[in-house]
Structure 1
Amino acid sequence: MKIALFSDIHANLPAFEAVLEDLENQKPDAIYCLGDLIGYNVWPNQVIGLIRKQGIATIAGNHDLKVSKILSSQDECSVQESSEYAYKLVGNQERDYLLTLPRHLKLEFQINNDNLNMLMVHGSPRSINEYLLKELPEQYMLDLVTEFNADILCFGHSHKPYHRIINSGKNGNDHYHHLINTGSVGKPKDGDVRACYVMLTIDHHASFTNPKSIETEFIRVKYDVERAAQAVELSMLPDIFADNLRKAY
């Protein structure tokens, strides 16, 4: 089974359109979005519209929830800070959609008498704002996946993709856990300006005792970075957001 995972689109329509086009060729069996559809660029409503049109199961990111505190586009009051402009662009219907998104998604696979639990979150199971960075101590990660019974834990938020495998087994009884950061579609921070998403392959021999039975491929997709960067510069958003896109930091 092939499962496509992506997150952190951040209203970057050119990047998201390029990813959707690539997914048409990849033909995954399922697609999930791990949040942060909006923020940092000028196309929040178009991105939300495409997510809904495609019927992509989506969870809320921390930026998505900011719309509860930001004036809607119908309000007459002016935005006090230019960084808030990205949220003011969100329409009323789109805001309602964001505020009703679930916080977690959980899948359970029953393969070869093993139950494999896959948990999808934005930041971490403990907090939507927590960064699960690759360099965090192994014991911290082990405590996390054990607490939430996750054989496969998928998340975004940091915009830095990685796949880390850790073993919680004791006394010779291996139990491997997969921690997968999806990177970012619309605002990469790993020095690669291309959009990023993950293709997760779970085969019929998948097991928590075999670390190689879960395959992860990070797919990078070229898109019109200048179009996205110039849209920022022509808006009320800070110009540094455009620099972030051109340099992927």
Structure 2
Amino acid sequence: MKIAIISDIHSNIEALHAVLRKIDKEKVDVIVNLGDIVGYNASPDECVTEIRKCEAISVSGNHDSAVHDLTARESFNVFANQAIRWSHFKLSKENKDFLKKLPLLSIVWDRFIACHGTLKSNDSYIVKPFQARRMFNIMRKEYQRINICFFGHTHRQAVWSRDVRGKVKQLKLNENPIHLNPEEMYLINPGSVGQPRQNDWRASFLTFEPEEAKITFYSVPYDLYKAQQKILKAELPSFLAERLAEGV
């Protein structure tokens, strides 16, 4: 079985279409979406419709929650706030209802956990060792049978591991694919489809092959100019268009 893990599409339909084409070429069996389908960019309704169409297993991101929950916007910067308010009026009722019903996390076939930020919040980050350690502790306490969690929210590819001695470290992504040790625990971020922040503008995702205990990262080019022009035409902040080209 081959599973595609995608995250942080953020209303970028050009990037999503490019990723879905690559996923099709890779003969993926199922897609898991780690949240934040909407926000920032200019095609929110189209992106939600596409995710529903491909029947992806999906969880809720903080921007997805903010479509309905005003309090979820309190931590947003001015650009994110403006974009999510704009998105609210562009989404169909059916797609708003879909976002509202998304769960905070999903346990997929008792093999791995999918979440957006952390297991307790879709607006918390895993970027520091103590944050990864906290997540591993929750997994050991509440999800003993599962040793892998896929998460998003940071918009950066990442792999954290915990060995049998309890040592937590962030792996250097020098090798691709990466073979996972079944004796260790992992927190894995596929990066962002629609707004990458690792100094690379290309859309990011990964595939997971459980039987081979293997993950493979991908970076896919897409029609960047078209995505930028849609942002400007929608009169969203020009910074949101500029940052796409920088991958920040």
Q: TM-score, normalised by structure 1?
A: 0.82
Match of 1:190 in 2: 198
Deviations 1:92-137 (A, max 9, x none): 221111101122111345xxxxxxx411101010111111115446
Match of 1:75 in 2: none
The SS at the match of 1:32 is strand
Change (3 A) 1:202 1:152: same
Identity %: 30
4+ runs of 1 displaced by more than 6 Å? none
Question: Is this contact kept in 1: 2:104–2:121, CA < 8 A?
Answer: no
Question: Is this contact kept in 1: 2:158–2:189, CA < 8 A?
Answer: yes
Match of 2:26 in 1: 26
Match of 1:225 in 2: 224
Task: Specify every segment of 5 or more residues in structure 2 that has no aligned partner in the other structure, as ranges.
Answer: 71-80, 167-181
Question: Is this contact kept in 2: 1:194–1:223, CA < 8 A?
Answer: yes
The SS at the match of 1:68 is coil
Q: 1:199 aligns with which of 196, 200, 207?
A: 207
Match of 1:206 in 2: none
Q: TM-score, normalised by structure 2?
A: 0.82
Match of 1:126 in 2: 120
- Structure (1 or 2) with the greater helix fraction: 2
Deviations 1:184-213 (A, max 9, x none): 00000001100001111222xxxxxxxxx5
Task: Specify every segment of 5 or more residues in structure 1 that has no aligned partner in the other structure, as ranges.
Answer: 71-80, 110-116, 204-212
In the alignment, residue 40 of structure 1 is paired with which amino acid?
Answer: Y
Flag the structure with larger Rg: 1
Q: What does 1:114-153 correspond to in 2, within 5 Å? A: 117-133=111-127, 135-136=129-130, 139-149=133-143, 150-153=146-149
In the alignment, residue 58 of structure 1 is paired with which amino acid?
Answer: S
Q: What does 1:37-116 correspond to in 2, within 5 Å? A: 37-69=37-69, 82-83=82-83, 84-108=85-109
Question: Is this contact kept in 1: 2:4–2:206, CA < 8 A?
Answer: yes
Match of 2:155 in 1: 159
In the alignment, residue 157 of structure 1 is paired with which amino acid?
Answer: H
CA distance in 1, matches of 2:62, 2:100: 11
The SS at the match of 1:217 is strand
Match of 2:4 in 1: 4
